[in-house]
Amino acid sequence: MSIRLRFALLYSAILAVILAFIGLAIHGILSRVTYLALQDDLRRASFGLGEAILAANSLNVQIPPVTGRPPRAFDDFPEDRPFRDLREREIVRILDPLGNLLASPQGRAEDALPLDAQGLTQLQAGRDWWQTAIVNDQAMLIYSRPLAQNGQVLYILQVARSLEERNRSLRFFGLTFGGLSLFIIITALGVGWLFSGLLLRPIVQITQTAQKIGQERDFSHRVQYRGPQDEVGKLAATFNDMLSQLQQAYEKVAHSLQMQRDFVADVSHELRTPLTTLRGNLGLLQRKPPLPVEEQSEILSDMAEESDRLIRLVNDLLTLARADAGRNLAHEPLELAPILEETCRQARALDPQREILLEAEPLTIQGDRDALKQILLIGLDNALKHSNGRVWVTAHRNGGQAEIQIRDEGPGIPPETLAHIFDRFYRGEDSLTTPGFGLGLPIAKALTESMGGTITMESTVGQGSVLKILLLLSQTSPTGP
């Protein structure tokens, strides 16, 4: 059973219970009010008739009464007697103190109204008595009251009225209210079905969207909800937010998997060349007859170079793997100028003929000393490899950061190459003439970001390139002028 149907049935059931309670309450009130009204009418009618009977003593009753005498008809009484004024709806009987019928409209013994022994006892004691009974297949409300003079009960007056009209009215009300309630419940069921459908439409949309995502594996779908921001609206908004986060996570995972595949392919390609060279040289050394000693020496030297190349490649890959794994780097205050001087001195040893100029402000950064030196050496090595002129290294304050620049006078980098300068194993047009694996700048980027900094490359073709490194300043860094 759907939630929509359960909502509609629950709403209809609650409405049915409320209507049943209201109907029973109204029926009870009407029953009670009409019953009290009938009692009041009978009591009023009996007062005037009783007073007239006592005043006229029209029946000439004998006490003790004479038994066996037939009842008298009301027509036997004189014209001025009150019996002529009786209402047609009211049935009147006059009894003696022993409960014997003295007078009735037709003067017949079978006209007697029921009066039980308990009621007769109450009447003889001077108290009124109410009784309901079936007379001639009709329900009757009978009011009996004693008529007494000087403390002696002379007559018992019975005034009765049929309850059929009242009962028919109550039955009509019950049928009318029941039919109206049934109509209301059926209408409410239909209205509740429609409204619950409108209310639950976002949930249906969420279900359909989830099904589409499962079938198409596309997290770009969204729930199109334009209603109020109630609970259902918040659910739709939350679902859309969740889809956005899932889409971002899915894209990141897909990108990571693609990078992993590219990384594995690039590593395989980079490893295959030195391994193929080593395997070929080993084959040459195994030849029979053996090669001359001079050629064997050249082969061994070539194998040593390829082995060193493999070691450097493996070390670079380990550095990248540690950076990707989020290796915790130190975040301690570091005096930037001494590290720059030491790094520049080591870089000059790589190419003594080149001029490396340094200009640095006294700044203190937060970072890891070894990682910072590796970043600087990668930047300087890259500048020395791809240029022939001087190299400038500067460091100055840039807001709350220290900005380090490594500038060269090389040929510059074309825009299409600059966009991939930090991609792993990516090498530009000079890859055949410049040694390396295309891992230096990616390593520098990973280490810089691990210290909370950023690294960018700017270049103009024909004018040179600038590597910019931004690192957070320490709280102890001089504020400057």
pLDDT in tens, 57-105: 645 544 445 455 666 666 655 544 555 555 556 788 888 888 888 877 7
For 443, list phi and psi in degrees, rounded to 5. Answer: -65, -45
Cα distance between residue 10 and residue 213, in whole Å: 33
- The three-class DSSP label of residue 125 is coil
The tokens for 63 are: 């006490």
Residue 170 or residue 215, greater confidence:
170
According to DSSP, residue 65 is labeled: P
- The class of domain 231-322 in CATH terms is mainly alpha
Question: In this structure, which topology does domain 3-169 adopt according to CATH?
Answer: Beta-Lactamase (3.30.450)
How much of the chain, in percent, has pLDDT values that exceed 70?
79
- Residues 271-309 have pLDDT tens digits of 665 677 778 878 888 888 888 888 888 888 878 877 876
pLDDT of residue 481: 43
- Residues 3-37 have pLDDT tens digits of 777 777 887 888 889 999 999 999 999 999 999 99
Cα distance between residue 382 and residue 341, in whole Å: 18
Cα distance between residue 360 and residue 336, in whole Å: 8
pLDDT of residue 128: 92
Q: 3-state SS of the chain: helix, strand, coil percent to 5?
A: 55, 20, 25
Q: Show me where the domains of the chain are located.
A: 3-169, 231-322, 329-472
pLDDT of residue 24: 92
360 pLDDT exceeds 80? Answer: yes
pLDDT of residue 315: 72
Cα distance between residue 236 and residue 103, in whole Å: 85
Strand partners, 468: 405, 456
Residues 101, 120 contacting (CB under 8 angstroms): no
| CATH of range 329-472; options 3.30.565.10, 3.40.50.1360, 1.10.3260.10, 1.10.260.40 | 3.30.565.10
- Residues 316-325 have pLDDT tens digits of 666 666 665 5
270 pLDDT exceeds 80? Answer: no
Cα distance between residue 5 and residue 18, in whole Å: 20
For residue 12, give the nearest of 182, 242, 266, 146 by alpha carbon.
182
Mean pLDDT of 251-259: 76
- Residues 365-407 have pLDDT tens digits of 988 888 888 889 888 988 888 888 899 999 999 988 999 999 9
Residue 98 or residue 215, greater confidence:
98
52 pLDDT exceeds 50? Answer: yes
C-beta neighbour count of 420 within 10 angstroms: 13
The tokens for 427 are: 């090498």
pLDDT of residue 61: 46
pLDDT of residue 359: 93
Cα distance between residue 388 and residue 378, in whole Å: 17
437 pLDDT exceeds 60? Answer: no
